Structure 1
């Protein structure tokens, strides 16, 4: 498991005093405002002096970046958080940790495929599952479907909604 997790991208400059606009890659942009330190991919720490959410973008002041010109040099840099700096609620996971999990039926053990992506729809996340035959399936990340998520063993057990995997048997034969 990677210690650093992508959390957003600096997309532009805000004002003339070195603030930047960050496109958040997390469920709640407010999360970025609560962190005092982020990182670049190299692991170099980025000290955050202040941050606020403005229309789903985070406006951030990075220590040592004091002019629009300095801020512009950071455009397109990806920011990372240290997973140890975040305490997840019970049953919550980093999307990065879900990618690659094997998805199996909780009752029969039938293997459906591997999680390749997660869409955040607002109501609930949707897991993209790629079967061995290349066919894609989409399951809602709800308690009625997802029975167990075991990050350590790279396994998710589900009880699929009726009809979700219909026809998959014929394709696999």
Structure 2
């Protein structure tokens, strides 16, 4: 199964007349936009063809970063890609410490209790101020159930990306 590209930034506007673009980073690693980095530019809404771009300059800007991409050379070209998403191949993401995962790695995992009861599939991760929350949905015989599971070490006991399974110890009353 081919893995999807991972979003790392969104082009929000133009800067100057030489084709620089303003971006909103969608990553915790702004250093990923260092000169020489290859990205894939996916036009807004998936309309049009994606193409590779190379960062030649990067600097902080108001509310994000300002990038110069080798393939974009004037304000008109920069304006044409406003709203586009900058992506990378999954193998090109910045490495995380052991026991930490990217959201894209968790989406689609099957979630079970420690007793082996199937809860559903992880469909989303909500990022809150205190901790992330896993959104787990089960669809069986037309019934849909959604469980919100706090992503805490005491609750999420094991994540196995090879089998795409997550084992949880639910707090008392969570399913009531």
Higher mean C-alpha deviation, range 58-67 or range 142-151: 58-67
Q: Where do residues 15-94 of structure 1 align in structure 2 (5 Å cutoff)?
A: 15-26=16-27, 28=28, 30-34=30-34, 36-41=37-42, 44-85=51-92, 86-94=94-102
Q: 1 CA distance for matches of 2:79 and 2:31?
A: 23
Which deviates more from structure 2 when the two are superposed, residues 36-45 or residues 88-97? 36-45
Runs of 4 or more off by more than 4 Å in structure 1? none
Question: Offset of 1:11 from its aligned partner?
Answer: 2.1
- For 1:25-74, what per-residue CA distance to the aligned partner results, in whole angstroms no more than 9, with x for missing partners? 23x15254347121135673210112234454232211132321111111
Q: 1:115 to 1:9 in 2, by over 3 A?
A: same
1:107-154 deviation per Cα after TM superposition (whole angstroms, max 9, x unaligned): x11111111111122432211111233122211211111111112211
Q: For residues 14 and 33 of structure 1, do their structure 2 counterparts lie closer, same or farther at Cα, with a shift above 3 Å needed?
A: same
User: Which runs of structure 2 are paired with 1:1-173 in the superposition (5 Å)?
Assistant: 2=3, 4-26=5-27, 28=28, 30-34=30-34, 36-41=37-42, 44-85=51-92, 86-106=94-114, 108-132=115-139, 133-166=143-176
Please, what is the CA RMSD of the aligned residues? 2.2
Give the Cα–Cα distance (whole angstroms) in 1 for the partners of residues 119 and 174 of structure 2: 11
Residues 55 and 150 of structure 1: CA distance in aligned 2, closer, same or farther (over 3 Å): farther
Unaligned runs of 5+ in 2: 43-48
Give the Cα–Cα distance (whole angstroms) in 1 for the partners of residues 90 and 99 of structure 2.
Answer: 16
The secondary structure found in structure 2 opposite 1:96 is: helix
Q: What is the count of residue pairs matched by the alignment? A: 164
TM-score by length of 2: 0.81
1:169 alignment partner in structure 2 = none
Q: 1:156 offset after TM fit, Å? A: 0.5
Ranges in structure 1 where 5+ consecutive residues have no aligned partner: 167-173
